[in-house]
Amino acid sequence: MEAEERNANHVDEEAPLLDAPRGRRVKSRQHLKSQLIIVMLLQICSPITSQSIYPYINQLIREIGITGGDDRKVGYYAGLIESLFFVTEALTVLQWSRVSDYIGRKPVLLLGMFGTIVSMLCFGLSTTFWQLVISRCFCGFLNGNIGVMKSIMGDLTDPSNRAEVFAYLPVVWGLGATLGPFFGGWLARPHDRWPHAFAAQFWQDYPYFFPCLITASYVVFAFTITAIFFREVRIPTPTDLPSHSTPRRRSPVDTPSSPACAPTLRELLTFPVVISIANYVALAFIEIMELSLLPLFLAMPLSIGGLNLAPDKIGYILGSYGVATGAFQALFFARITRRFGVRAVFITGMAAFVPMTLAYPIASALAKTAGGVTPAVWMLVGSIVLMLCVMDLAYGTIFMFVTASVPNQNALGATNGVAQTFVSISRAIGPAAATSMYSFSLEHNILGGNAVYVLLLVLSVISLRLASYLPPNNWDETATYEAPNNHEEIANGRSVAENANRQDE
């Protein structure tokens, strides 16, 4: 009886958590699902706060008077504001990610959300250009959450369920990308829209505080949920297990990851890691240029290559992209990835940048000729949104490549930190480069004001060549959840399966 009772209470540590059978193991499965839900809630914070400023940032730059009344210069300052977050994030995200390997993911997440809350409130209260600068820098300095959340996803998944789970990342990003621009465009200048409800002088002095307050309130909600319900998940290391045991599957433990087997940064940069990160950087760089250019293109007057749309219409357009990409990823990502392979899907997403970029100058030329936004122009704007949805397929696949390339599970935080550092640098350069090139080409009539589109086309072609170095069906994913036994094998990028075979012999 005692033996039967012990067997009934035994939890199979080697069983996949998402596929746990009925009985006592359901507790682990329920735990995993609850943690994934929390991570999804956290994923919404970044797009909802960062993209809420896009519908009104160009109008805000005009109103604070930094451009001297010259609309052609708006792109310089708007791009700088959008880039500053990523500049300061690039300086600190690797450190935060590596800290999470030692002290756990949860403290870093909470600190990052605190910085986001304070930054958004300060942004809404800013009335000068330098106040905007300081608030964005403060947010980026404390925000290590982007890399840490990807590390948590790696902690919670294995190759058997990764495609399904990672498919939800663009979905929740799409939800945030829907709500952020919607709040920014619809709630900006509430005194003008609802004069009776917002009659106080405060709302006239700070016309952009209300959307910042609403988005910050969501982050407060996510902060509270994380503080109360989030539990650390780690991989048992060889020092945690008997010498005859091999940590082949994840199990939930309420302590942070052990750094005992983590390689150095030099040992971390194997060929799979470098190629995966390089493609991630290329994707992020071109995407942030396109996303920074889109609201500027929509807001600028017809005479200088824009469509002269109001902030609320810009918010609806950007919000429709969030809805469309969320639905598209949820319905098709996992199926498409299984059918065609991760590299083919990634290349398809990168190829979408070409028709997307061509749509800008064509729409501008049609709008100038017609003297306004015609149905044909709206169709081109819709095609840009559609291509953005296709492009987002690349994000789910590149996250899978980066996660599978990790040579040692204890280095997952460091790997995502390295990736996010370079991605943050690219995203720091991208907005300023795109919007400044837009303004510069207009001021000096370079290629008829279309130099920025030529640059984007060249970068898109180069990125497709870089994508060809990725393997058709991802890297050897056994390395994601089995630890190599020595640093030489980490440096050479060998799979743990080979090492296990040698031990069996």
pLDDT tens-digit map of 295-346: 888 988 888 888 988 878 888 888 788 778 878 877 888 788 888 888 899 9
| Confidence at 212, pLDDT banded by 50, 70, 90 | very high
Give the residue extent of every domain in the chain: 35-232+264-498
pLDDT of residue 167: 67
Task: Encode 260-301 in three state secondary structure.
Answer: CCCCCHHHHCCHHHHHHHHHHHHHHHHHHHHHHHHHHHHHCC
The tens digit of pLDDT for each residue in 33-43 reads 788 888 888 88
Max CA pair span of the chain:
87
β-strand partners of 234: 251
Provide the percentage of residues in the chain whose pLDDT is more than 70.
76
Spell out the alpha helix ranges (H) of 161-252: 162-166, 168-187, 190-193, 201-205, 209-229
- Predicted confidence at residue 454, as pLDDT, reads 92
SS3 241: coil
Q: How many CB atoms lie within 10 A of CB 221?
A: 14
* CATH superfamily placement of domain 35-232+264-498: MFS general substrate transporter like domains (1.20.1250.20)
How far is Cα 307 from Cα 312, in angstroms, rounded to an integer? Answer: 14
Tell me which of 131-140, 243-252, 285-294 is least confident.
243-252
- pLDDT tens track for 221-250: 999 999 999 887 654 443 433 333 333 334
pLDDT in tens, 373-417: 899 999 999 999 999 989 988 988 888 888 788 776 666 767 777
pLDDT at 380: 93
CA dihedral 476, 480, 483, 487 (to 10 degrees): 70
Write phi, then psi, for 161 (nearest 5 degrees): -125, 5
| Whole-structure pTM value | 0.64
What is the model's pLDDT at position 233? 63
Residue 390 and residue 385: Cα distance in Å, rounded? 9
Does the pLDDT at position 273 exceed 60?
A: yes
pLDDT attached to residue 247:
38
Tell me the one-letter amino acid at 29: R
Cα–Cα distance measured from residue 53 to residue 188, given in angstroms and rounded to the nearest whole number? 9
CB atoms closer than 10 angstroms to residue 433? 21
How far is 378 from 387, CA to CA, in rounded Å? Answer: 14
Higher-pLDDT residue of 371, 358: 358
pLDDT number for residue 410? 65
